[in-house]
Structure 1
Amino acid sequence: MRVLVVEDDRRMAGLLVRGLTAENFVVDVEHDGRDGLWRATEHAYDVIVLDVMLPGLNGYRVCAQLRSAGNWTPILMLTAKDGELDETEGLDTGADDYLTKPFSYLVLVARLRALARRGGTPRPAVLRLGDLELDPAARTCRRGDTPIGLTVKEFAVLEFLLRRRDQVVTKAEIIAGVWDEARDPEPNLVEVYVSALRRKIDAPFRRHTITTVRGLGYRVDGREGTST
Structure 2
Amino acid sequence: MRLLIIEDDQGLALSMKLGLEKYGFYADVSNLGLEGEEKAYANEYDVVLLDLNLPDKDGTDILQFLRDSGVETPVIIITARDEIEERAMGLDLGADDYITKPFQLLELRARIQAVVRRFHGRTSPVITIGELSVNPASRTATVGGVLVELAPKEFDILEYLAQKHPHVTTAEEVAEHIYDETFDPSSSILRVHFSRLKRKLADASGREILQNIRGKGYWLCEKEN
Cα 1:30–1:131 shift into 2, 3 Å: same
SS in 2 for 1:71: coil
Give structure 1 stretches of 5+ with no counterpart.
none
Q: Which moved more, 1:44-53 or 1:199-208?
A: 199-208
Residue 176 of structure 1: CA displacement? 1.4
Runs of 4 or more, structure 1, over 4 Å off, are: none
1:41-91 deviation line (CA, Å, top 9, x unaligned): 111111110001112211111111112222222111112351532332222
Contact 1:7 1:29 in 2 (8 A): yes
d(CA) in 2 for partners of 1:93 and 1:219?
34
1:122 to 2:157 alignment: no
Find the counterpart in structure 2 of residue 100 from structure 1. Answer: 100
Find the counterpart in structure 2 of residue 205 from structure 1. Answer: 205
Find the counterpart in structure 1 of residue 13 from structure 2. Answer: 13
Q: Which moved more, 1:182-191 or 1:10-19?
A: 182-191
Give structure 2 stretches of 5+ with no counterpart.
none
1:72 to 2:72 alignment: yes
Residue 187 of structure 1: CA displacement? 4.5
d(CA) in 2 for partners of 1:180 and 1:38?
16
Structure 1 residues 48-67: aligned runs within 5 Å: 48-67=48-67
Structure 1 length-normalised TM: 0.89
Cα 1:60–1:129 shift into 2, 3 Å: same
Aligned amino acid, residue 14 of structure 2: G
d(CA) in 1 for partners of 2:116 and 2:85?
26
1:97-145 deviation line (CA, Å, top 9, x unaligned): 22221112221111111111111x3355211121111111121111112
1:157 to 2:145 alignment: no
Find the counterpart in structure 2 of residue 142 from structure 1. Answer: 142
% identical equivalent positions = 37
SS in 2 for 1:163: helix
1:10-49 deviation line (CA, Å, top 9, x unaligned): 1111001101111111211111111111111111111110
Q: CA RMSD in A?
A: 2.0
1:141-165 deviation line (CA, Å, top 9, x unaligned): 1111211111111100111122222
Q: Which moved more, 1:16-25 or 1:98-107?
A: 98-107
Residue 171 of structure 1: CA displacement? 2.2
Find the counterpart in structure 1 of residue 214 from structure 2. Answer: 214
SS in 1 for 2:5: strand
Cα 1:83–1:198 shift into 2, 3 Å: closer
Contact 1:210 1:220 in 2 (8 A): yes
Structure 2 length-normalised TM: 0.90
